[in-house]
Amino acid sequence: MIVVSACLAGIACRYDGTAFPCEKVVKLVESEQAVYVCPEVLGRLSIPRPPVEIVGERIITVAGQDVTAQYQEGAAVALQITLKAGCHQAILKARSPSCGSGKIYDGSFSGKIVDGDGIFAQMLKQAGIAVYTDEEF
């Protein structure tokens, strides 16, 4: 079983209220080989919601609001779903503050990318789950 970002499965849950469907991911979900999660929605954040980036150890909106607690809560719930489903791999949305793996935005809201992981991707890796982005899949 594979866990995937809900937006890649065609669920309109991104910060801007859209989806980012990946045909291969949609097919995995449809064939019941994957479960989807949105850590941000699981953290009780709205759709749409302000853009956020990781700034040091915090997750901050473009307006400066600290939403770290909501992101941590949602990632923890998503991790529990992942483990309960018996997932050993993840396919997540690249550069997301929740799901980004290997590369994320730098926290300046300028579009600059740096090495790093989103909070859910970090938790998955710590749990021994292989994480790939939609760009690698």
pTM of the complete model:
0.96
pLDDT band at 27 (very low <50, low <70, confident <90, very high): very high
pLDDT band at 29 (very low <50, low <70, confident <90, very high): very high
Of 129, 108, 137, 131, give the one whose Cα is nearest residue 118: 131
pLDDT by residue (tens digit) across 104-131? 999 999 999 999 999 999 999 999 999 9
CB 21 within 8 A of CB 29: no
Residues of 98-135 as b/e, b for ≥16 C-beta within 10 angstroms?
Answer: bbbbbbbbbbeeeeeeeebbbbbbbbbeeeebebbbbe
pLDDT by residue (tens digit) across 37-75? 999 999 999 999 999 999 999 999 999 999 999 999 999
Q: Could you tell me the two tokens for 58?
A: 């915090």
Q: Could you tell me the two tokens for 116?
A: 């790093």
Averaged pLDDT for residues 81-100: 98
Average pLDDT score over the chain: 97
